[in-house]
Chain A
Amino acid sequence: MGSPLERRRRRRLRRIANGPLHRYLSRPFPKKTLDYRCVDYLALDLETTGLDPKRDQILSAGWVLIRGHRIDLGSARHRLIRCDGAIPADSAVIHQITDDEAAAGERLGRVMRELLDVLAGRVLIAHHAEIEIGFLDAACRELYGSGLLACTVDTEVLARRTFERRNIPFRPSELRLHALCARYNLPRYRAHNAFYDALAAAELFLAQVAHRDNGNGFCLGDLL
């Protein structure tokens, strides 16, 4: 019974030891047939030292929860992660996290535990989700010896589908988070940290589903 993802979750659950990932996997994923408005989401963004989950490290994570298509700002979190070795200068320019700050951050294990606890039973939202999924998966393997399973909505994919469905030609740059936010008349945040990018992705998600919804709702599966 259940979706392939559900079956994998149950299989994985039997194989791994107690701990944060076990707790995470013991909650079922939301059913694809549910009305998207009844689903709980977690919008996430990670800042990393580079693009390769095998070599690079997570520097910070920011997230916020969406319930009943409302963003709950009370759930907003921003976590800096203690990092081994120097942060490559070129990435420090982008996310403005210095070595000192990174050294003052929390241990990756602690942040992962906190994140997995809130992600359990929720749909993950990220913009260009490949990065978030890749790094979380690598972190899980390193910490718990097993990769991540997640039910994910990628706002970038939703945007690309919209352009394609409407036959609107687009440049890759138009798929960037901030370009899309501007397109939907959403606020432009000055800070470019993991939290504000997660919030921007959450707001973009609300805008995307609102424009898709004709008032009757649709099922979660349409977004995956």
Chain B
Amino acid sequence: MDVELIEIQEFLANHPPFEQLPEAALEQIPRQLTVRYLRRGSAFPPADDQARHLYILRRGAVELRTEEGELAGKLAEGDLYSDACGGNSESRALTGQTVEDTLAYSLSCERFERLCTDHPELAEHFQDAPTKRLRKALDVLTEQTATSSGLMTVTAQDLIRRSPVIADPAISIREAAGIMSTERASALLLMEAGQLAGIITDRDLRNRCVAAGLSTDRPVKAIMTASISTISADTLGFEALLKMTRLNVHHLPVVEGEQVLGMLSTSDFTRFQSSSGVYIVSDVHKAKTVAELEAVSAKIPELQVQLINSGATGNHVGQAVSAITDAITLRLIALAEAELGPPPVPYAWLVGGSQARREQSSHSDQDNALLIADAMSKGDDDYFRQLAERVNDGLHACGYIYCPGEVMAKNPTWRQPLAVWQRYFENWIQRPEPKALMLASVFFDLRALHDPAGLYDGLHQQVLELSRDNRIFIAYMAANALKYRPPLGFFRNFVLIHGGDHDRSFDLKHRGTVPIIDLARAYALSAGLEPINTVERLEAAAATKALSQDGAANLIDAFELINTLRIRHQAEQLSKGEHADNFLAPERLSPLERGHLKDAFILINSMQETLGQRYQAGRFT
């Protein structure tokens, strides 16, 4: 066997898709190649190649353009040009010219097709639609994480360690305590006629019975928590943990239909490090001062790292971090109310942006507002100003820095009675202006975090109804969704931007997740959909005419891929004690990850173009 072409074989082996080929197959390729030298400024693919070829760049660079002459991509060392070989019929062949002196390997399409027949893995790379490749990439990503975690794959049912300890709610408190102590259970489920009636825990015995001086002869019903949440047996461990974190409970019954299978307690999670999410929230609830909350909040970056290490995706982390931010905000509101006394009129504390969407990563800046009942009198604002200042300052102290755009409850513009908010929204929707909408887009991702009087629900419904029927407003939101474009791809260690600029780093947020978040908002508002979370918005939009099922599934995949890379990049920075940011250097990406990202970019770009065409969004930019 001749070994002389080993260096060319090694070169191929370092670049997708050849890296997937077995050594024996790879060995056969170099002999089938020809080498061409193309001067800078030569047509690409070379005009004098009679037969169609696939090209692999060994040195140099090529610019590819669409038929309209728009820059569509750039190739450099190791990049491959297969447009001439058909296969992917979805896209038209791009052509262009060399922008540096270029040495290229060429393989005739005929030989390449034979290679694809012999090696289906190669054919997949070229013939699969980018969206199908994206799905596979995500499967690989989550598969990798699943093996290391458990919590992402294990279900609530798997976590239960024993059959449930059950008693009748009519028995006395003493009897109930007796059962708990014999069974060594920290919680007891109470069932009546086969139905779950309530739950008591060690803490209830202490707080509601002994400390309250209640007779232990009373029926246990008197101290049970009657309205209890349950989780179904097939809930993923992570979601169960999240639910407990959000509800701030330590026990949750696991049910399958009507049947109670057992009890999940926070201690069942102790073998998973990430259980600290629950402890952080319970620490938040115990905190009595802002200083204590600051100390708890300082643990969030560590939690984010732990979650990532145990295999969480971007969505998981966003949910967990947002749940903690919610808890801290609620605690700050409670502390402020404790100090200032009860509010003169009902109000709702609204959160916007990533917290509202439950997509926060550690310590984003704060976006919030106050919605006050119309019954407020002029003098009442003093109370709400103080409340807002306390909560805004507390959040700032906890690392959620003041919103640079001043979208905070302490800003009087965003601390208004319901009637004013209604006017705000009517204006934004019926008389949209690009400048006002830039700021306003925060307010179309809005969630009532603390709203005992239910003030926000009606407003939210009105907003959805108004926006759904207003084509001009939707066109503005569509234009807004085209403001941030994904890159065209990568070129050497640069990110290639529309128009041909090069960035040193990939802005995972503005060129990755934000375009999808903006698309999801436009779809949701055009169909009058309630969800705020991006994935939930896309799922909901898929059931309407705003977005196809495929389009939704593909965008969700792209979002999860980019968001997970982003969250991992941040976890890496946090674990090194660095400040977490959204800027990823392309050299940190494997050639395969670059390929997957490029697929995601193509998808986002085409969804943006479709939306833009539908609403002729170009008129509003």
Task: List residues of A whose CB falls within 8 A of some B CB.
Answer: 62, 69-74, 76-78, 184-187, 189-191, 193, 195-196, 202-203, 206-207, 210-211
Contact = CB atoms under 8 A, between A and B. Distances in A.
Contact of B31 (A70, A73, A207, A211): A73
B2 A206 contact: no
A62 B7 CA distance: 15
Contacts of A69: 36-37
A73 B34 contact: yes
10 closest cross-chain pairs (CB), A and B: A206-B37, A71-B35, A78-B4, A195-B4, A70-B34, A74-B31, A73-B33, A210-B39, A210-B37, A207-B37
Contacts of A186: 59, 103
Interface in B313-371: none
A206 B60 contact: no
A207 to B, nearest CB: 5
Given A62-B4, A73-B5, A187 B103 contact: yes
A110 to B, nearest CB: 16
A69 B39 CA distance: 13
17 contacts: A69-B36, A70-B34, A70-B106, A71-B34, A74-B32, A77-B4, A184-B101, A185-B60, A185-B100, A185-B101, A187-B58, A187-B59, A191-B7, A195-B4, A207-B101, A207-B103, A210-B37
A71 B104 CA distance: 10
Contacts of A207: 37, 101, 103
A70 B36 contact: yes
A69 B38 CA distance: 10
B103 A203 contact: yes
B5 A185 contact: no
B2 A76 contact: yes
Nearest to A196: B7
B8 interface: yes
A185 B6 CA distance: 21
A40 to B, nearest CB: 13
Contact of A190 (B7, B32, B60, B106): B7
Nearest to B58: A187
Given A190-B7, A206-B35, A78 B103 contact: no
B30 interface: yes
A32 B106 CA distance: 29
Interface in B1-21: 2-8
A62 B59 CA distance: 23
Contacts of B30: 73
Contacts of B36: 69-71, 206
If over half of B's interface residues share one DSSP class (helix, strand or loop), that class is named, otherwise mixed; here it is: mixed
B403 to A, nearest CB: 50
Interface string B36-76: 11110000000000000000001110000000000000000
A191 B8 CA distance: 11
A28 B101 CA distance: 35
Contacts of A210: 37-39, 101
Instruction: From B30, B31, B35, B37, name the one whose CB has the most chain A CB atoms within 10 angstroms.
Output: B37
Contacts of B58: 187
A194 to B, nearest CB: 9
Contacts of B35: 70-71, 73, 202-203, 206
Given A69-B37, A73-B5, A77-B4, 8 more contacts: A62-B4, A70-B34, A70-B35, A70-B106, A185-B103, A187-B103, A195-B4, A196-B4
Given A70-B34, A70-B36, A76 B5 contact: yes
Contacts of B105: 73
A221 to B, nearest CB: 21
A76 B4 CA distance: 8
Interface in B214-266: none
A190 B10 CA distance: 12
B31 A76 contact: yes
Nearest to B42: A210
A69 B4 CA distance: 21
Nearest to A195: B4
Nearest to B102: A185
A191 to B, nearest CB: 6
Contacts of A187: 58-59, 103
A105 to B, nearest CB: 14
B59 A77 contact: no
A203 B60 CA distance: 14
Instruction: From B6, B35, B38, name the one whose CB has the most chain A CB atoms within 10 angstroms.
Output: B35
Contacts of B5: 73, 76
Contacts of A62: 4
Contacts of B59: 185-187
A108 B6 CA distance: 25
B8 A73 contact: yes
A202 B106 CA distance: 16
B566 to A, nearest CB: 35
B76 to A, nearest CB: 12
Nearest to A67: B34
A220 to B, nearest CB: 18
Contacts of B103: 185-187, 203, 206-207
Nearest to B50: A68
B185 to A, nearest CB: 68
Contacts of A202: 35
A187 B104 CA distance: 11
Contacts of A196: 4, 7
A207 B34 CA distance: 15
Contacts of A74: 31-33
Nearest to B105: A73
Nearest to A72: B34
Instruction: From B4, B34, B39, name the one whose CB has the most chain A CB atoms within 10 angstroms.
Output: B4
Nearest to B30: A73
A206 B46 CA distance: 14
A204 to B, nearest CB: 9
Contacts of B31: 73-74, 76
A125 B21 CA distance: 35
A179 B382 CA distance: 78
Nearest to B106: A70
Nearest to B60: A185
Contacts of A184: 101
A102 to B, nearest CB: 17
Nearest to A184: B101
B34 A211 contact: no
Contacts of B33: 73-74
Contacts of B39: 210-211
A189 B37 contact: no
Nearest to B10: A190
Contacts of B6: 191
A211 B40 CA distance: 10
A62 B3 CA distance: 12
A202 B35 CA distance: 10
A211 B60 CA distance: 15
A78 B39 CA distance: 29
B273 to A, nearest CB: 45
Contacts of A185: 59-60, 100-101, 103
B253 to A, nearest CB: 66
Interface in B392-419: none
A98 B527 CA distance: 77
